[in-house]
């Protein structure tokens, strides 16, 4: 049949001789049937002849006759390595498939411990890690601590530069504070707020003070002060310079001091002479808070006590400007309780205020031994709380000058008696003395 021959020829042409072994297709035309022996022989010789020719055309060969021997050996070795790796992984703890690729790369990581660093590389000189202790740092800190302890033992804590000159015409000693150098740090930020107080000993009533310089260890002052003193008294006078660190919320720290015993040490003071001195650590850390003058007068017949606040001098500077805004508060205390309080007006920007203001309390004569007066010099603050500069106490149970002044007032009734009183720290006099009740005393 013509169309059958055409189909066979096209199908036969589609089969390339390299894709499958050649074999003789049986003729589709009627022909004599071959013997069984011949067919069996053909099956053994051509095993694919029994399959359909279309199935034989798409059958993949498994013999790979064209692959070189080297490639087959490489593929076999790769298969063996993969099999060994799979066997090794089965003995490890099971983990998430998320990290399976990481495990396969672990054997290929470089072993740092097996590196040959060479003979010139010392193991002890390897870079230190973050947590490793560095002994050299401790040696440095120990040295600094030793220097600090030695300084506190009597060595200097910086230098100060000042000049002296005597004005013969006006009989004035002119003291000019120029600058300070290499002061110790008193604040946590590694700095200080220094200022200088100047005395001409033995008189401590007259005192001068420089401005406060913020956050510096090398301040430049350039401030002049005048002490009225006769020329004949200069040999017995001593210049005392006290360097302080200003603290807004607590006591001012004393950095150190300089005492010039001989004013003629450098020259005859006829011309201005510059002097450099080492600042010595102060042996006493007591801070001068200033003084207050007031008078007491008691009228027994009227039962009236009059306290007149006259003035203050050399008050502690509470503001960064080097001044204060002081006022005086007077409290009447009985059995540790405050009965009444009164205060004066506020004086702005001064350390030597003058008041001349009278404060009156009504106290019966029989109660005078049971009451006391607590006087506080305060610094007015527009923002925040008013702070205590210093205090003093009056009464029969007071100590020192406070008791003597009180007894003198009772001994001389109707007569105003005035005295200067030094100001004390509030935590000692107010909390320990004033606010502690005295049992067994009735109220007035």
Domain with CATH 2.60.40.150 in the chain: 156-280, 291-434
pLDDT at 438 over 50: no
Q: Which residue has the higher pLDDT, 216 or 28?
A: 216
Cα 211 to Cα 225: distance, rounded to the nearest angstrom: 12
Q: Report pTM.
A: 0.43
Mean local confidence (pLDDT), 355-364: 95
pLDDT at 414 over 50: yes
Q: ω into residue 374 within 30 of 0, thus cis?
A: no
**CATH class belonging to 291-434:** mainly beta
Cα 76 to Cα 226: distance, rounded to the nearest angstrom: 108
Find residue 328's DSSP bridge partners.
377
Mean local confidence (pLDDT), 371-397: 90
Where residue 332 falls among pLDDT bands split at 50, 70, 90?
very high
Q: Which residue has the higher pLDDT, 35 or 406?
A: 406
Query: Which is it for the CA torsion 392, 328, 307, 430, positive or negative?
Result: negative
The per-residue pLDDT for range 270-327, each reduced to its tens digit, is 888 899 999 988 655 456 788 999 999 999 999 999 999 999 998 888 876 778 899 9
**Which pLDDT score is estimated for 399?**
86
pLDDT at 22 over 60: no
CB-CB contact of 223 with 177 (8 Å)? yes
Per-chain mean pLDDT for the chain: 73
CB-CB contact of 290 with 404 (8 Å)? no
Cα 378 to Cα 400: distance, rounded to the nearest angstrom: 22
- Is residue 346 helix, strand or coil? coil
**Which pLDDT score is estimated for 306?**
96
The per-residue pLDDT for range 36-63, each reduced to its tens digit, is 445 545 545 555 444 544 444 545 555 5
Where residue 333 falls among pLDDT bands split at 50, 70, 90?
very high
Mean local confidence (pLDDT), 221-245: 90
CB-CB contact of 294 with 310 (8 Å)? yes
Where residue 86 falls among pLDDT bands split at 50, 70, 90?
low
Show Cβ contacts of residue 216 under 8 Å, excluding neighbours closer than 6 positions.
191, 192, 193, 194
**Which pLDDT score is estimated for 319?**
76
What is the CATH topology of the domain spanning 156-280?
Immunoglobulin-like (2.60.40)
């Amino acid at each position: 049949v013509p169309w059958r021959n055409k189909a066979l020829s096209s199908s036969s042409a589609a089969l390339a001789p390299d894709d499958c072994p050649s074999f003789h297709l049986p003729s589709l035309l009627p022909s004599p049937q071959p013997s069984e022996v011949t067919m069996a022989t053909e099956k053994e010789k051509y095993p694919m002849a029994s399959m359909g020719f279309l199935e034989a055309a798409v059958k993949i060969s498994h013999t790979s006759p064209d692959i070189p021997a080297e490639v087959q050996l490489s593929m076999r070795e790769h298969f063996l390595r993969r099999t060994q790796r799979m066997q090794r992984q089965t003995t490890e703890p099971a983990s998430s498939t998320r990290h399976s690729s990481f495990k396969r790369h672990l054997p290929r990581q470089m072993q740092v411990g097996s590196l040959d660093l060479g003979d010139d590389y010392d193991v002890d000189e390897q870079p230190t890690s973050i947590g490793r202790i560095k002994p050299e740092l401790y040696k440095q800190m120990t040295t600094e601590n030793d220097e600090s302890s030695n300084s506190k033992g009597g060595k200097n804590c910086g230098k100060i530069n000042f000049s002296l000159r005597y004005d013969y015409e006006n009989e004035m000693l002119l003291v000019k504070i120029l600058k300070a150098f290499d002061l110790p740090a008193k604040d946590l930020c590694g700095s200080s707020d220094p200022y200088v107080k100047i005395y001409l000993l033995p008189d401590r009533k007259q005192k001068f003070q420089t401005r406060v310089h913020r956050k510096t260890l090398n301040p430049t002052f350039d401030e002049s002060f005048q002490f009225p003193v006769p020329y004949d008294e200069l040999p017995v006078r001593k210049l005392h310079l006290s360097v302080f660190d200003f603290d807004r919320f607590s006591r001012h720290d004393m950095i150190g001091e300089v005492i010039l015993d001989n004013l003629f040490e450098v020259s005859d003071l006829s011309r201005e002479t510059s002097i450099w001195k080492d600042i010595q650590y102060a042996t006493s850390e007591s801070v001068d808070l200033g003084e207050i003058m007031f008078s007491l007068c008691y009228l027994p017949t009227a039962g009236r006590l009059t306290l007149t606040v006259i003035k203050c001098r050399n008050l502690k500077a509470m503001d960064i400007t080097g001044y204060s805004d002081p006022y005086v508060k007077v409290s009447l205390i009985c059995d540790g309780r405050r009965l009444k309080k009164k205060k004066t007006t506020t004086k702005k920007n001064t350390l030597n205020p003058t008041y001349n203001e009278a404060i009156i309390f009504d106290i019966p004569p029989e109660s005078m031994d049971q009451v006391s007066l607590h006087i506080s010099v305060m610094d007015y603050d527009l923002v925040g709380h008013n702070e205590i500069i210093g205090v003093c106490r009056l009464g029969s149970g007071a100590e020192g000058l406070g008791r003597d002044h009180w007894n003198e007032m009772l001994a001389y009734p109707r007569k105003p008696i005035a005295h200067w009183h030094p100001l004390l720290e509030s935590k000692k006099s107010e909390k320990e003395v004033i606010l502690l009740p005295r049992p067994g005393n009735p109220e007035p």
